[in-house]
């Protein structure tokens, strides 16, 4: 048992309000430099929709992630030898059109325009060419179902699980629905970006599992961009190197939640350490589609189990990290409560960001006169909700509907139970029955409710101590570091670089 620690995340999609504050916190801190304008390490997608870069989920086109060949894991992009042959030709890269041409405006015209005969205006200009341009795409182009006939209707997941007639009905007001899917790098256990890099520039930090692209070693081959099925590695056209979400390690190292999580106004995000068995990664990632979700749960170790603790300590994990793992909200959501699921587990990267799927309104019918009548459920049920279960399972369970249904049963039963408890117009017996069917106890409901609704920052983000003094000590005595370099040491100064 090779016990390791992974900083992992849960995004509670029921709580997501789609505000994009997360994306902007990230943009402000990390990617407003030349070469990074189009990078959105954190972005929020409307689902159904085509995402960013557009249609990134279509691996027939992009060949990201892993496939199974004779039961063995293989990069879909091809193995390394082929890759080296193709090294200067990478047909699986998204083009600028799949992202967008970054733009700004001739703002100064508003102040500087000479006297004229009409109001001056600030026209859009390309950040690449500096020329006037027509804006045809952006990083969030199909937000809130904008352009639904072009985007939402062509969501690859929807295409996969619904026939044309079903899709048509889906876009009528009786069924119409959308929700938000915020995405950052999944800091996968089995990252295909790392495997795809010809230069060995990408690594997963041993102490916390954060996947980084070394800005020293990167040669700009962009195989990582193709290799990552989530398209969460970007190429900086100014520096010629790949960059990606760093899970705000400078903040984590100082005990602060990543910027996107800190700034999450919907309070949907949770972060904590998971202990896992690194020996079983390959085995886990090689399971058949239908077993992937469960296998990924299996690889996560129980931080309370004495054998796990003993082995972890033997491998050099600090006791404080193990304690953090015991308090991890991610462990609760993923392993204990089985409420959070990985995005596209069939890509086999073992993503370490998990999602609680959203509850959505009930469906309706139109009367003959065209009046809108709602289904009668007080809240909603699996039958009445605008929940295309097949669609959800295509996102979060490699098509396994039972996984998603199990989660929804719990979410719905929890609400019924709280209703019965706090109002009483739903009989407590009925709520208890729902709990039983969902395999939940009242105590669990209370714990889930607490973490969902009442948790403080400290409960939502259980950041393990990063023991920076130990890391620094490997190169220089921390006392010396404090005296000679300390926080003032600046390798690459200030914003703009």
Partner 1 sequence: MSWIKDIMNPETRLWEEFYRNRWQHDKVVRSTHGVNCTGGCSWMVYVKNGIVTWEMQALDYPKLETGLPLYEPRGCQRGIVYSWYIYSPLRIKYPYLRGVLMDFWHEARASHPDPVEAWASIVENEEKRREYQAARGKGGFRRAKWDECLEMIAASMIYTAKKYGPDRVLGFSPIPAMSMMSYAAGSRFLQLFGGVLLSFYDLYADFPPASPEVWGEKTDVAESADWFNSKYIVAEGSNLNMTRTPDAHFVVEARHHGAKLVVFSPDFSQVSKHADWWIPINAGMDGALWMAVNHVILKEFHVDRQVPYFVDYLKRFSDAGFLVRLEKTENGYTPGGFLRANCLERYRDTEHGEWKLLVFDRRSEEPRMPQGAIGFRWQSENGKWNLELKDAEDGSEIDPQVSLLDQHNEIVQAEFRDFGNERTFQRGVPVRRLETTEGPLTVATVFDLLMAQLGITRGILGEYPSSYDDEDAPYTPAWQEKFTGVGRATVVQLAREFATTAEKTKGKCTIIVGSGVNHWYHANLNYRAGITALMLCGCVGVNGGGLNHYTGQEKVTPAASWSTLAMALDWSRPPRLQNGPSFHYVHSDQWRYEKAFPDFHPREGPFAREHFMDLQAAAVRMGWLPFYPQFNRNSIELAREAKAEGKTTQQEISEWMVDQLRSGKVRFSIEDPDSPENWPRVWLIWRANALHSSAKGHEYFLRHYLGIQSNAIAEEVAQDCLHEVQWRDAPIQGKLDLVVDLNFRMDTSALYSDIVLPSASWYEKDDLNTTDLHSYVHPLGAAVPPCWESRSDWDIFRGLAEKVSALSRVHFPSPFLDIVTTPLLHDTPDEIAQPKVKDWSKGECEPLAGRTMPHIHVVERDYVNLFHRFNSLGPGIKQHGVEDHGIEIPVGELYDEFAKTVPSYEWNGNRYPSLTDVRSAANAVLFFAPETNGEMAYRGFKERERQTGLPLADLAEGQREIQYSFDDLIQQPRRILTSPCWSGIVNNGRAYTGYAMNVERLVPWRTLSGRQHFYLDHEAYRAFGESFPTFKPRISLENTLNLVKSPAAAQSLVLGCITPHGKWHIHSTYSDDLRMLTLSRGVEPFWLNDKDAREIGVEDNDWVEAYNDNGVIVTRAVVSARIPRGLCIFYHAPERTISIPKSPGRHHRRGGGTNSVTRMRLKPVLIVGGYAQHSYRFNDYGPPASDRDTYVVVHKLEGKPEWD
Minimum distance from CB of 138 to partner 1 (Å)?
A: 6
Residues 69-108, interacting with partner 1 (CB under 8 A): 102-105, 107-108
DSSP states of 352-374 = SEEEEPPP--B-EEE-TTS-EEE
Please say whether the beta carbons of 22 and 265 come within 8 A.
no
Distant-in-sequence, close-in-space partners of 100: CB < 8 Å, separation ≥ 6: 38, 136, 137, 138, 139, 141
> Cα separation of 78 and 64, whole Å?
10
CA distance 79 to 195: 9
The two tokens of residue 405 are: 């249904």
Q: Which one among 49, 65, 94, 139 touches partner 1, defined by CB under 8 A? A: 139
- State which of residues 69, 169, 453, 480 lies at the interface with partner 1 (CB under 8 A): 453
The Cα 198–Cα 87 span in angstroms is 9
Select the residue interacting with partner 1 from 49, 357, 358, 399 (CB under 8 A): 358
Residue 239, token pair as written in the block: 């520096």
Question: Minimum Å distance from CB 192 to partner 1?
Answer: 9
Of the pair 114, 306, the CB lying nearest partner 1 is at 114
Would you count residue 371 as binding partner 1 (CB under 8 A)? yes
Q: Quick one: which segment of 301-309, 326-334, 396-404, 414-422 binds partner 1 (CB under 8 A)? A: 414-422
Q: Which is nearer to partner 1, 290 or 338 (CB)?
A: 338
Euclidean distance between CA atoms 105 and 133, whole angstroms: 10
Which residue of 223, 259, 317, 398 would you call a contact of partner 1, by CB under 8 A? Answer: 259
382 is a site residue for partner 1 (CB under 8 A):
no
Residue 424 touching partner 1 (CB under 8 A): yes
Among 318, 418, 428, 446, binds partner 1 (CB under 8 A): 418
User: What are the distances in angstroms from CA 187 to CA 194, 360, 423, 477?
Assistant: 10, 29, 42, 30
- Of 1, 68, 93, 122, the residue at the interface with partner 1 (CB under 8 A) is 122
425 belongs to the binding site for partner 1 (CB under 8 A): yes
Question: How is residue 157 written in tokens?
Answer: 């997941």
Q: Within a 10 A sphere around the Cβ of 383, how many other Cβ atoms?
A: 10
447 binds partner 1 (CB under 8 A): no
How far is residue 5's CA from residue 195's CA, in Å, rounded to a whole number?
20
Give yes or no for residue 148 binding partner 1 (CB under 8 A): yes
Asked if residue 58 binds partner 1 (CB under 8 A), the reply is: no
Among 115, 129, 164, 429, binds partner 1 (CB under 8 A): 115
Assess 131 for contact with partner 1 (CB under 8 A). Answer: no
Rounded to a whole number of angstroms, the minimum distance from the CB of residue 354 to partner 1 is 18
Q: How far is the CB of 102 from partner 1 (least distance, A)?
A: 8
Angle, helices 306-314 vs 319-326, to 10°: value is 150
One character per residue 301-340, x = contact with partner 1 (rule: CB under 8 A): ----------------------------------------
369: contact with partner 1 by CB under 8 A? yes
**Residue from 379, 442, 447, 478 that binds partner 1 (CB under 8 A)?**
379
**Do 194 and 203 form a contact (C-beta atoms < 8 A)?**
yes
CA dist., res. 316 & res. 52, Å (int): 40
Are 182 and 42 in contact by the 8 Å Cβ rule? The answer is yes
Exposure on the CB side of residue 258, measured as CA atoms within 13 A: 27
| 443 near partner 1, judged by CB under 8 A | no
Residues 153-182 that bind partner 1 (CB under 8 A): 171-173, 176-180
x/- site string to partner 1, residues 459 to 478, per CB under 8 A? ------------xx-xxx--
Say whether residue 42 binds partner 1 (CB under 8 A).
no
Compute the distance between CA of residue 220 and CA of residue 224 in angstroms, rounded to an integer: 9
Rg (CA), the chain: 24
Interacting residues of 212 by C-beta distance below 8 A, sequence separation 6+? 202, 203, 204, 205, 244, 246, 249
Selected from 367, 429, 443, 483, the binder of partner 1 by CB under 8 A is 367
What is the total count of residues that contact partner 1 (CB under 8 A)? Answer: 139
Taking CB under 8 A as the criterion, the residue among 71, 81, 306, 493 binding partner 1 is 493
Does 15 sit near partner 1 (CB under 8 A)?
yes
């Amino acid at each position: 048992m090779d016990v390791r620690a992974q900083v992992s995340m849960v995004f509670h999609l029921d709580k997501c309000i789609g505000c994009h504050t997360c994306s902007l916190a990230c943009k402000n801190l990390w990617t407003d430099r030349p070469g990074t304008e189009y990078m959105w390490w954190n972005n929020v997608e409307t689902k159904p929709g085509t995402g960013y870069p557009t249609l990134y989920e279509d691996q027939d086109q992009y060949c990201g992630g892993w496939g199974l060949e004779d039961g063995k894991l293989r990069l879909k992009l091809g193995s390394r030898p082929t890759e080296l042959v193709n090294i200067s030709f990478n047909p699986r890269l998204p083009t600028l059109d799949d992202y967008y041409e970054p733009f700004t405006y001739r703002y100064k015209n508003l102040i500087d325009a000479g006297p004229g005969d009409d109001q001056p205006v600030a026209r859009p200009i390309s950040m690449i060419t500096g020329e006037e341009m027509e804006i045809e795409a952006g990083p969030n182009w199909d937000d809130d179902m904008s352009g639904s006939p072009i985007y939402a209707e062509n969501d690859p997941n929807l295409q996969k699980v619904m026939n044309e007639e079903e899709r048509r009905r889906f876009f009528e007001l009786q069924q119409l629905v959308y929700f938000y899917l915020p995405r950052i790098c999944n800091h996968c256990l089995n990252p295909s970006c790392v495997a795809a890099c010809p230069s060995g520039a990408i690594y997963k930090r041993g102490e916390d599992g954060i996947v980084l692209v070394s800005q020293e070693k990167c040669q700009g081959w962009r195989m990582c961009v193709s290799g990552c099925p989530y398209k969460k590695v970007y190429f900086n056209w100014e520096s010629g190197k790949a960059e990606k979400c760093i899970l705000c390690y400078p903040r984590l190292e100082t005990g602060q939640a990543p910027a996107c999580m800190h700034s999450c106004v919907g309070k949907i995000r949770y972060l904590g350490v998971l202990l896992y068995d690194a020996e079983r990664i390959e085995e886990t990632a090689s399971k058949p589609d239908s077993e992937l979700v469960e296998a990924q749960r299996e690889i996560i170790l129980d931080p309370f189990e004495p054998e796990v603790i003993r082995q972890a300590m033997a491998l050099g994990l600090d006791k404080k990290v193990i304690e953090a793992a015991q308090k991890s909200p991610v462990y609760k959501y993923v392993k204990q409560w089985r409420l959070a699921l990985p995005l596209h587990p069939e890509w086999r990267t073992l993503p370490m960001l998990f999602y609680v799927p959203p509850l959505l309104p009930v469906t309706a019918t139109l009367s003959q006169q065209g009046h809108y009548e709602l289904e009668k459920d007080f809240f909603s049920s699996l039958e009445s909700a605008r929940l295309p279960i097949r669609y959800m399972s295509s996102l979060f369970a490699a098509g396994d509907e039972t996984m998603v249904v199990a989660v929804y049963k719990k979410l719905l039963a929890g609400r019924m139970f709280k209703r019965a408890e706090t109002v009483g117009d739903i009989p407590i017996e009925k709520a208890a029955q729902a709990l039983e069917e969902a395999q939940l106890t009242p105590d669990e409901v209370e714990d889930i409710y607490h973490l969902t609704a009442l948790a403080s920052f400290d409960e939502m983000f259980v950041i393990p101590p990063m023991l920076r003094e130990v890391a620094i000590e490997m190169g220089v005595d921390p006392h010396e570091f404090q005296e000679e370099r300390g926080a003032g040491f600046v390798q690459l100064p200030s914003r703009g670089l």
